[in-house]
Structure 1
């Protein structure tokens, strides 16, 4: 059940990150979800590192760090995806 929640949270974080980033992103949904999952893991690790990994009530600080990490990862994932896609498109034209 933990993997299912990781996929759901990663999907939501990835979509929110895409909404926050300016412009149109071309990366596929699966890549956005993977970047969201990794962003959630990184955000949790940072939260634990600074001592806000587990608090009473809603962990707004942890959730903010997860979203911030997801935004950064979706941004770099988009850049990498477009670079790979651009190279592949050039090979097909040759």
Structure 2
């Protein structure tokens, strides 16, 4: 993977992570790096699920993959927030 691909993945992960945080109600006490990492993981998981469901084969259904990715990001944000609150 070239450096432009790595930078693109980080930017997309940040966007997906931020959108996931917007979906979750209330204030989340996690940092920017955790948001980007959750967003990256959610983007990869959502793309994988979209591929398994065959959503890339249909031209008009790519937005469903975005919803899946944002949903995974929201779940990741909630899970990370609960894990961090239990540790304290």
What is the TM-score of this pair, normalised by structure 1? 0.81
CA contact (8 A) 2:17 2:38 kept: yes
1:5-36 deviation per Cα after TM superposition (whole angstroms, max 9, x unaligned) = 11101111111111110111001110011000
Q: Which runs of 5+ in 2 are unaligned?
A: none
Q: Which runs of 5+ in 1 are unaligned?
A: 87-94
Helix, strand or coil at the partner of 1:23: coil
Q: Tell me how far apart the structure 2 counterparts of residues 26 and 38 of structure 1 sit (CA, whole Å).
A: 19
What is the TM-score of this pair, normalised by structure 2? 0.86
The CA RMSD measured in Å over matched residues stands at: 1.6
Q: Which has the larger Rg?
A: 1
Q: Which residue of 1 aligns with 2:75?
A: 72
